[in-house]
Chain A
Amino acid sequence: MTLAQTSISFDFIWDNMGIFLDGVRLTIFISIVAFTLATIGGLGVALMRMSKSRIVRTLIAAYINVFRAIPLLVFILFVYYGIAISFELQVSAIQAGILALTLQYSAWLGEIFRGGIQAVSHGQREAALSLGMSRFQAFLRVVLPQAFRIAIPPTGNMFIGMIKDSSLVYLIGVPELLRVSNRLANRTFRYFEVYLATVLIYLILTTSIYFLVKYLEQRYALIDVLTAKTRRFSLFGRRRAARLRDLQEKVQEHVVAAPLEMEMHEEFEEDEPEGQAGTPSARRAPD
């Protein structure tokens, strides 16, 4: 049968939406689980890549280069059929697929995160240390957040890649979106409708990642919440601005209310170490 012989029917897609949605659910599940694990793995890879130990550095460089060099589809087949099935391991196709995706994406994300971490200037770490922070705090509070901001756009690209690559696990029998589409098409011969729907669904999924990345970039945009006029997703910004205005008022009240005491306070420090100890001014109240 060819297209010419059957009339194109979009109702057909609606009628089978349940089947598509089952596949979509699994695609999203695999993508999110594998990407979350790969993010953790990637962070570990990045840190080990910058380790002081040369052995660790060399091993992790080997890991990165090996896993990036194998075609993903080949690797998925190897992990499931080559290892899990051959050695009769208790591993489902979904688990094998997630493992294969995680191992490869950890290598890619590791390099992205390392680039982000190394792009943060050395002075940032020094400034954090000079405040008395530990090296771990300096990394966690100062270096890492900046590295993440640098890494948001390329990481978003990787997430889009993950959604697309998750379709490859259909070859080991995981009933995700591509596999259910295939089955439906082969059963009904409505190739055009089915694959058109599949394409559109993938497009919707990846586009929503694009908006998520855009949101994150805005969420972490460096704008002054006190002077910014309009702001999309501005609930956070409005709450923050209100808090800061309260704070400004509080400080100004202290200053206006206590100019005399301030003078006394300064004299007290310079001239009379023992006297007037009872009135160290309202500005000192918080201590």
Chain B
Amino acid sequence: MKPAASADIPTRADPVVRLRGIHKSFGSNHVLKGVNLRVERGEHIVVFGPSGSGKSTLLRTTNLLEQPDEGSVVFQGKEYGPGLEGEKLARGRPRELRQAVGMVFQQFNLFPHLSVLDNVTLGLRRVKGIDRDEAELRAATQLDRVGLLNKIGSFPSLLSGGQQQRVAIARALVMEPAVMLFDEPTSALDPELVGEVLAAMRALAEAGMTMIVVTHEMGFAREVGDFNVFMDDGVIVEEGGREIFTDAREVRTREFIKAVL
């Protein structure tokens, strides 16, 4: 059994993922301007900031849906991306990293042509090569944990947004990732459906999952975020523990928090 809950209190010497000097541009638009981040085992990192600040790109770079132009993602002793001068680690292939990093998207991105159950079994069967019976049992068990066992025969388009996002969480979790990435998981939801998704994420956090969450839900951030990162204009302006929400050092951070609370 690999990842899930951490046994120890996180120590600062045990990073699961490290982002080192990440730069990313889209054409002339310089979106990330040298971002460094350490993600410790069992830690819940919340990334927040105004739209266009690069937080989604940061998350997408973490599982290499975007390739960094400079810098690298370090994961399980391997380095992905062009890297930094001097220090070179063994290179890995994006697929290796993605198999161990789960991602939940703002728009859910469930596979509409597959039933709820098949959405969750797809990765197990085609990536991990697990046989159908076993994959279906694991998938159904995971769906049960997010409260959707009764929907296994349904299709994504027949579900509410909140249910869809919970299926998406189950789809990522069933792969037993070492880290879960959440890219504004509640932003596309009707207000009354936000709660059920946050509840599933809270349970996951309590179980000790390592998480990086990009969110506008400041209540959730204050409750779950062990380490909070405020981004603006492609750089990390300020980072720290819970105190960031009450005693931010930077003016920009204070202003943003005041504006969204």
Contacts and interface: CB of A to CB of B under 8 A. Distances in A.
Interface in A197-238: 220, 222-227
A130 B5 contact: no
Contact of A133 (B63, B123, B144, B153): B123
B124 to A, nearest CB: 9
Interface stretch (B47-55, B106-114, B240-248): B106-114
Interface residues of B, number: 50
Nearest to B176: A287
Interface of B: 1, 4-5, 7-8, 63, 65, 94-95, 98-103, 105, 107, 109-113, 115, 117, 122-123, 126-127, 134, 136-138, 140-141, 144, 149-155, 157-158, 168, 171-172, 175, 207-208
B182 to A, nearest CB: 12
Contact of A248 (B152, B157, B175): B152
Given A244-B153, A251-B140, A286-B138, 20 more contacts: A121-B109, A123-B105, A124-B111, A127-B103, A128-B111, A130-B98, A130-B102, A131-B123, A131-B172, A132-B99, A132-B127, A145-B113, A146-B111, A223-B158, A226-B154, A244-B152, A247-B152, A248-B149, A248-B150, A252-B144
A28 B154 CA distance: 38
B10 to A, nearest CB: 13
A256 to B, nearest CB: 11
A287 to B, nearest CB: 7
Contacts, number: 124
A13 interface: no
> What 5 A-B pairs are tightest by C-beta distance, nearest first?
A132-B99, A131-B123, A226-B153, A127-B109, A222-B155
A240 interface: yes
A183 interface: no
Contacts of A227: 153-154
Given A132-B95, A241-B153, A248 B140 contact: yes
